[in-house]
Amino acid sequence: MLAVLFFVGVLASCGNSSRKKEDLQVKYDTRIMKPESRVYNIYIPASLHGVSEVEVYPQVSGIIRELNFKDGVKVTKGQTLLVIDQTEHKLNVQNAQANLAAAKAQMETTKLQYETNKKLAEKKIVSDYVISTSMNAYHVAQAAVQQAQAQLSMAQTSLGYCTVKSPITGIVKENGFKIGELADLTELLCTVSDNSEIQAWFSYTESQLLEILDRYNLKPSSEGLKDIDGQTASAKLPHLQLQLKNGQVYAHEGVITEIGGIVDSKTGTVIGKATFPNPDDELRSGLSATLIFPTMMDSVFRIPKTAAVHLQNQLLFYRVKKDGTVEGVICEAIPSNSGNNYYVKSGLKSGDEVVINGVQNLSNGMKIR
């Protein structure tokens, strides 16, 4: 029995020795760290809006008699979109015209009476009281004419409101109304969007705002963000791309035209706007997309993804020491846009030698050469 145990112990000892030899014989590839400048794309969700969007509400209530547009078509400023029943409003105009004519006739009568009495007064035929009374009657008639004219203008305005016209040139979005339905003052008829340019509204974090200000030497002012030379922020910031929901990148580049200076205390974000040309009406208000914001990263170390060990929310890389052993280093790093590499911002220095393969088998102090 003792002989058997001795034999087993010898085998175990030989096994451990051979395993250590295997560890030393494994070839670990390494890379010497050299600082690089890299363009890194930040992807930010955005919602698209026209330069101006006007909601069209009826100014008078009534039955819709005509619909002269279709959803998604382009309309021009002043174009008739729909017509609300005019019958009652036409009658109101006619009634107001008749009242105005009667008021004018009455005014002419009182004017004639007043002028006649003035002549009689010069001959001492009528008293001053008669003159005052006829003059007051004339003034009352003049006021009645003005009131009738105002009523006619109101009636004509209401009649004009029956014809709903587009306030701007743009793309119209209907709200589901049909001919014969009642249009109420509180109901949205349609929306017209000026899509000659498209604004992409996005939000970004307070840290991203501070990074933008620092990187492009910008500062807040009463006229928005400017640099020390007085240029606007959009003149210095990089051009952006827009990725649509189908994955395609929009053909025209845009520029940031507004960066909010107020941070939302609840979300810690800031609202910004980027403007894109839209010559072919490819972009529509209400769509969602993704902004591609290129940023230049200076003095970063590019390391293959295979070199990283994930420790919860941290990344660890193994650095080779002069004696051939390795030590784990926690680093601040972000994945490249391709996903094949990491860009290390801190934790390593130029000239460090880093293991780039087989890192799952390593531990602190292990000798690899």
Least confident of 1-15, 263-277, 345-359: 1-15
Of residues 92 and 21, the one with the higher pLDDT is 92
In this prediction, residue 42 carries a pLDDT of 87
Q: Is the pLDDT confidence value at 6 over 90?
A: no
Using CB atoms within 10 Å of the CB of residue 22, give its burial: 0 to 12 exposed, 13 to 18 middle, 19+ buried.
exposed
Q: Give the residue from 366, 289, 277, 357 showing the smallest Cα distance to 328.
A: 366
- Which element (helix H / strand E) includes 328? strand 326-335
In this prediction, residue 268 carries a pLDDT of 77
Q: Is the pLDDT confidence value at 213 over 80?
A: no
Beta strands in 19-103 (DSSP E): 30-32, 36-56, 62-67, 74-75, 80-84
DSSP state of 26: S
In this prediction, residue 5 carries a pLDDT of 32
What percent of the chain has pLDDT above 70?
A: 88
Cα gap 258→280, rounded to integer Å:
24
Cα gap 155→266, rounded to integer Å:
51
Report the amino acid identity of residue 364.
Answer: N
Cα gap 171→58, rounded to integer Å:
19
Report the amino acid identity of residue 297.
Answer: M
pLDDT tens-digit profile of 165-201?
999 999 999 999 999 999 999 999 999 999 999 999 9
Q: Report all structural domains of the chain as residue ranges with CATH numbers, in order of start.
A: 42-50+194-297 (2.40.30.170), 58-85+163-188 (2.40.50.100), 87-161 (1.10.287.470)
3-class SS of residue 335: strand
pTM, entire model: 0.65
Q: Most confidently modeled of 17-21, 131-135, 152-156, 244-248?
A: 152-156
Cα gap 363→311, rounded to integer Å:
13
In this prediction, residue 10 carries a pLDDT of 35
Mean pLDDT of 118-141: 90
What percent of the chain has pLDDT above 90?
A: 64
Give how far Cα 197 sits from Cα of 120, 150, 201, 208, 275, Å: 74, 42, 13, 26, 7
Cα gap 100→142, rounded to integer Å:
11
pLDDT tens-digit profile of 282-322?
998 889 999 998 888 889 999 999 999 999 889 999 999 99
Mean pLDDT of 151-177: 95
Backbone angles phi, psi at 296, to 5 degrees: -90, 125
DSSP string, 120-188: HHHTT-S-HHHHHHHHHHHHHHHHHHHHHHHHHHHHHHHHHHTEEE-SSSEEEEE-S--TTPEEPTTS-
- Per-residue HEC secondary structure of 195-253 comes to EEEEEEEEEEEHHHHHHHHHHCCEEEECCEEEECCCCEHHHHCCCEEEECCCCCECCCC
Mean pLDDT of 224-245: 74
Of residues 127 and 224, the one with the higher pLDDT is 127
Q: Is the pLDDT confidence value at 13 over 50?
A: no
pLDDT tens-digit profile of 256-276?
888 776 777 787 788 888 999
In this prediction, residue 223 carries a pLDDT of 58
From the CA atom positions of the chain, what is the Rg in Å?
41
